[in-house]
Structure formats: C-alpha cells, structure tokens
Amino acid sequence: MTERLVVIGGDAAGMTAAARARRRRDPDDLEIVAFERGPYTSYSACGIPYFVGGLLSDIDGLIARSPDEHRKNGIDVRTGHEVVAIDVNPRRVRVRDLAGDGRERDEPFDQLVVATGSVPSRPDVPGVDAAGIFGVQTLADGVTVRQAVDERKPRRAVVVGGGYVGLEMAEALVRRGLEVALVDRTEQPMASTLDLDMGELVADALRAVGVSLHLGETVDGFETASGSVRAVHTANRSLPADVVILGLGVRPNIALASEAGIAVGDKGGIVTDARMETSVGGVWAAGDCVESVDRITGLPVVVALGTHANKQGRVVGINATGGDVRFPGVVGTAVSKICVYEVARTGLTEREAAELHVDVVAAKVESTSRAGYYPGAAPITVKVVAERPGGRLVGAQIVGAEGAAKRIDVLATAIWNRMGVDEVASLDLSYAPPFSPVWDPVLVAARKAADLVG
C-alpha cells in the first residue's frame, strides 16, 4: 500500500524534506504532495535585497528549484494552495485552492511535515495597511517591491527596523538612488545581533552612504493620502515617504500547529525532539516555525535562518522515511554585508550573556584584514566573549572590510566544540600577507580574552 507524505510549505525546509524523502523512497512506495500558497518554491529569501537593489537582473538566480523541477523529480507540488487546518485524528489537512475557485477540500496524510516558516511583525498603528508599505519576506514580496521601485520611481523611502533585513534593504534602496531614512527603537542598528559598541560601527557605515538614522524612536503611525503612504510618524518627527519597508523581524508561523494541538514552546516555536518529530507521532516540523536547542546554554531558541531550515529539512526527510538522524542544535552564527562592512556574529553577545546571568569577559581588538603593508588592507574589529571561570569561548562578533566576516566560521567551530579561548589563541590558522596579518585578529582577540580570564 502506498504511503502518503504531505508537506506544508514549499521553501527551504519543506522542499528539502520532500526531496530527501523522494531520494530514499520510490514513488510506488511513497506519494509526496507539497502545498505552497505562493508561486515559487526552493528560493533564496536572503537574496531579495540584492534583487531589489538591482545587483540581479531577474529572480531566476534566486530559485534553486522550480515547482516544475520538483514535479519532474516525483514530488506533486501544488502552488497557489493554502493549508488552512490540520486534523491529526483523522490524519488530514484542509486545503484552499487560492489559484482556482477558492474551494476547500480535505487531503489525507500518513505523515506530515509542517514547514510553515515565519510571519513578519507589523506595527499595530494607524495607516499600516496603506499602499506603498511593504514587508519583505517571500520572493513574491521582493518582486512586488522591485516593481514598485521600477514603475513608481519613488524618491524617498523609510525603513522601519534595524535588523538584517532592514539594513540590507536600506542599502539596496540607496543603491537605487532613493533618499533613505531608517527608524529603529533601539540605540544602535542590529541591537538584537551585536553589542552596542559593535553596532556603532554599522551605524557609521550607514550614515556614510547617506542613510539618515533615527534611533531610539518608535513608529506611532503612517500618514496617508488617497490610500497611499505619504509619511512615517514617530513621537519626535514626521518623515516623508513614497515607499516604506517593514523590517521588524519575524515570529514562528505556528497557528496551524497550535490549533491542531501540536505542542508549542515558550519561545513561540513548534516543539520537536532531536529527530524533528513533534508531540504528535508522524508529524514533523522544520525551519523558521520550530524551536531549536542552543548548544551553549541548552535552552530553546528560535533562529530563522535558511541554513538551519535546510539541515532540519534533511533530517525530517530521512527520519520520515525510516532513518534515524538527529539535528544537533545551533550556536547562532549569522553574517551579512552592510555597506562597506561585513558583519558577523556567533554564540552569545556580551549583553545576552548578562541577561542569562552567565559570568563572562569580553575582549575587543582592532586590526587589519591583511598585512598592514599589503595593498587593500582595511580595518577589522573582532570581539570575543568567554565564560569565567574556565575561559570557554561562548560568543564572537566581527565587523570589517572584505575578508573579515568569514573568519567567524573559525570561532563558530570553536564554540561548537566547546573550546577555550586559550586553545583558540593557539590554533594553526593560515597566513599570507594578502589574507591576514601574521597574527590573525581572531588569534589576537582570543589571546586578549584568555589574559582577562586569568
């Protein structure tokens, strides 16, 4: 008898799970059906700012595998279909045909993959639904923003939110020739990602390309005219706007799972075990909608990154087809390019450690990305955070020019393996003048932290 695997969500986690399951089980043995409400599957949402900014001429480069390619590989992908309910007993989902007549029907499953991703945060203020105000989460969102900039030729943009998406979109709009203002309620950009002293470097880079920063301010409304946005209001000012980008972060999209009685954790994500199985047997979850385990603290966290989504999807695809593998957790490694700087972090920031009552020391060093005498040498700042006593490396941040950010992978690997800063300081890292000073900044920062630990 043919078994039926149903996947909710057609991006990284869901389609990785589907593809892995298909490679392990023959179509005569396992039918795989994937429902996706949008028109695209398996795309790089991280590339949207570069598409909007004109670095990419079309979206094809952001699509790893189209719906037709998945279908050719034996996965029944149904785009324009939204799952509106899950019934775990009997095992079925209710699906609405968005692309057709809008009718709903029940689809049975033997096993289910919940890969519903995340939903963007929107301020609950007057005017938020006006035309010209955009969230940027899905590829379809990116296409809409690109069309608005191409066709309407806006002059002034306001970005609300100073996280990764907000800053990358601010730079993209500057690249398109717009006057850009950014509003964020925190003291520095990327406050949830970097410590304030490192975020200050990012703020300087944004100002250098002409972004007007309004920090420590909260949006309390949008002024509209004829249904379109005209200005963004805070308690301190009114900022004229032809287009507004919301970059206020995301939260796990757990509504379907929660309504079906699937366990949701204190951090707001679906709870799974290490095999990515939920509280309901045969129902799996992966991607932005789930909680993961922080390998440093052992606590649940929600980290919305495509890297984790793909890895978790692979685990689901294997285990749903009779395998037995585990997702080992996360350490929060992330990287971005903001104007002239590459920005990276892993593990805990100094602020996060304080909130968790972890006793730490922090060491920060300023160096260069290459040997100081070599052409193209540019500033790089490295900050490491070490637990006290013992000196275990628990966090790191890097802000610097080209060649800076991928150094974070050395520190992420060290954190993953619970290394001390004294061990990191002695690592046998590569050296040549075009790539590093003889003492790489990573080693210098680790040695400084080791001295502070004592």
According to DSSP, the β-strands at 179-184 and 156-160 are: parallel
The per-residue pLDDT for range 183-227, each reduced to its tens digit, is 999 999 999 999 999 999 999 999 999 999 999 999 999 999 999
> From the candidates 46, 148, 358, 452, which is the catalytic residue?
46
- pLDDT > 90? residue 341: yes
Please determine whether the domains at 3-38+80-119+251-319 and 334-453 fall in the same fold group of CATH: yes
Express the helix, strand and coil content of the chain in percent, nearest 5 each.
30, 30, 40
Q: What is the pTM of this model?
A: 0.94
46 labelled catalytic: yes
Residue 1 banded pLDDT, cuts 50, 70, 90: confident
DSSP count for the chain of H helices, then E strands: 12, 25
Q: Quick check: 445 and 382 in contact, CB under 8 A? A: yes
Please tell me the distance from the alpha carbon of residue 43 to that of residue 250, in angstroms, as a whole number: 18
Structural domain spans, the chain: 3-38+80-119+251-319, 133-248, 334-453
Q: Report the percent of the chain where pLDDT is more than 70.
A: 100
385 bridge partner residues: 362, 395
The per-residue pLDDT for range 399-451, each reduced to its tens digit, is 998 888 899 999 999 999 999 999 999 999 999 999 999 999 999 999 999 99
Average pLDDT of the chain, as a whole number: 96
Q: Quick check: 452 and 361 in contact, CB under 8 A? A: yes
Q: Quick check: 312 and 320 in contact, CB under 8 A? A: no
Domain 334-453 - what CATH class?
alpha beta
Q: Fold for domain 133-248?
A: FAD/NAD(P)-binding domain (3.50.50)
Please tell me the distance from the alpha carbon of residue 413 to that of residue 438, in angstroms, as a whole number: 21
The per-residue pLDDT for range 345-364, each reduced to its tens digit, is 999 999 999 999 999 999 99
Residue 293 banded pLDDT, cuts 50, 70, 90: very high
- pLDDT > 90? residue 19: yes
Please list the alpha-helical segments (H only) found in 25-110: 48-52, 67-72
Give the three-state DSSP class for 403. Answer: coil
Task: At 362, list the tokens.
Answer: 């922090």
Which pLDDT score is estimated for 421? 98
> Domain 3-38+80-119+251-319, CATH 3.50.50.60 — does that match?
yes
- pLDDT > 90? residue 94: yes
Enter the DSSP assignment of 444: H
